């Protein structure tokens, strides 16, 4: 039976930790220069309705390193961009390729694609969730902290797809999470309610310093995501005080690590000094997109 990677909570904790272990093994093998062609002869169809740097490069390079091939498909140059039903696209692609990665707006659209596809579908990002990124983030924490499940995590900024994904991660792994957002920019209420029902240890606040106090991991993202560019000026005003800077870092644990999924708007949600500080692991985090996604693809497609 085929399996998809659409949302963290669709998987068991044992399966997710298996991805961490496989990613660490594949990373070590790559660093040693060992071939690991687990997907020899396989092809991944990559559907992009949102532009990308890290997602495209990491999936395409990852498939190459696994011995397979990745095919870039922009919605603007395919029939999806001209109104072909998702269920038709799904069934046709299932006859051509061995897996699909899609980076798009609607989580519902990704789920429909997976429902009609007979091959694995990977959520490369939607407006609701970014599961590959949060798995890369957690792999980075595992590399820098002894026990990632005993750390205190802090999210400061927009209640966006990354905030939703961190809430799902807190549900799955049981760690303490503090989420600080301006009023009116809280995470999705459905995600919040599901986490509450499952007893997740999450504190929601409108005070960034309260959230950061004693935290082991500080995390943020841009204030205006793709598709929200017209709100940029409004959001800069609304998010005043929600920047990760020296004051916020000083409130956190002395050995805290600082994360950002990139791209960063330096001087807005994070200062240049913070992202270049000894606490920053943002480029380890970016690299780990490659390794965790290789593990996801190998697990689903091998």
Residues serving a catalytic function are 103, 130, 133, 221, 261, 289
Q: Where are the beta strands (DSSP E) in 31-120?
A: 43-48, 69-74, 99-103
Alpha carbons 207 and 197: distance in angstroms, whole number: 24
Going across the sheet that includes 99-103, the strands are 69-74, 43-48, 99-103, 121-125
Q: Which residue has the tokens 């994070």?
A: 270
What b/e readout covers 159-194, taking b as 16+ CB neighbours within 10 angstroms? bbbbbbbbbbbbbbbebbbbbbbbeebbbbeebbee
Q: Which residues are annotated as a binding site for L-ornithine?
A: 161, 221, 225-226
Question: Residue 74 forms beta bridges with which residues?
Answer: 48
Q: Which is nearest to 126 in space by CA: 99, 112, 106?
A: 106
Q: Which residues are annotated as a binding site?
A: 52-55, 79, 103, 130-133, 161, 221, 225-226, 261-262, 289
Q: Which residues are annotated as a binding site for carbamoyl phosphate?
A: 52-55, 79, 103, 130-133, 261-262, 289
């Amino acid at each position: 039976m085929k399996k998809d990677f659409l949302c963290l909570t669709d998987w068991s904790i044992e399966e997710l930790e298996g991805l961490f272990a496989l990613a660490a093994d594949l990373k070590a093998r790559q660093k040693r220069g060992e071939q690991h062609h687990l997907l020899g002869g396989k092809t991944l169809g990559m559907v992009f309705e949102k532009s990308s740097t890290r997602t495209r490069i990491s999936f395409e390079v990852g498939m190459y390193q696994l011995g397979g091939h990745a095919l870039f498909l922009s919605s603007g140059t395919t029939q999806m961009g001209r109104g072909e039903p998702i269920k038709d696209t799904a069934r046709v692609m299932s006859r051509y390729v061995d897996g699909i990665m899609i980076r798009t707006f609607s989580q519902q659209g990704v789920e429909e694609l997976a429902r009609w596809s007979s091959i694995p579908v990977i959520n490369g990002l939607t407006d609701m969730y970014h599961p590959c990124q949060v798995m890369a983030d957690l792999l980075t924490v595992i590399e820098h902290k002894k026990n990632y499940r005993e750390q205190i995590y802090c999210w400061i900024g927009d209640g966006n797809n990354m905030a939703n994904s961190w809430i799902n991660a807190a549900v799955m792994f049981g760690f303490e999470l503090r989420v600080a957002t301006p009023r009116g920019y809280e995470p999705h209420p459905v995600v919040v309610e599901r986490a509450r029902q499952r007893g997740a240890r999450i504190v929601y606040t409108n005070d960034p310093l309260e959230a950061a106090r004693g935290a082991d991991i500080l995390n943020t993202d841009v204030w205006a995501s793709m598709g929200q560019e017209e709100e940029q000026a409004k959001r800069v005003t609304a998010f005043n005080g929600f920047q990760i800077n020296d004051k916020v870092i000083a409130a956190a644990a002395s050995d805290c690590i600082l994360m950002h999924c990139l791209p960063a708007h330096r001087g807005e949600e994070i200062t240049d000094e913070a992202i270049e500080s000894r606490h920053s692991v943002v480029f380890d985090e970016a690299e780990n997109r490659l390794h965790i996604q290789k593990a996801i693809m190998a697990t689903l497609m091998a």
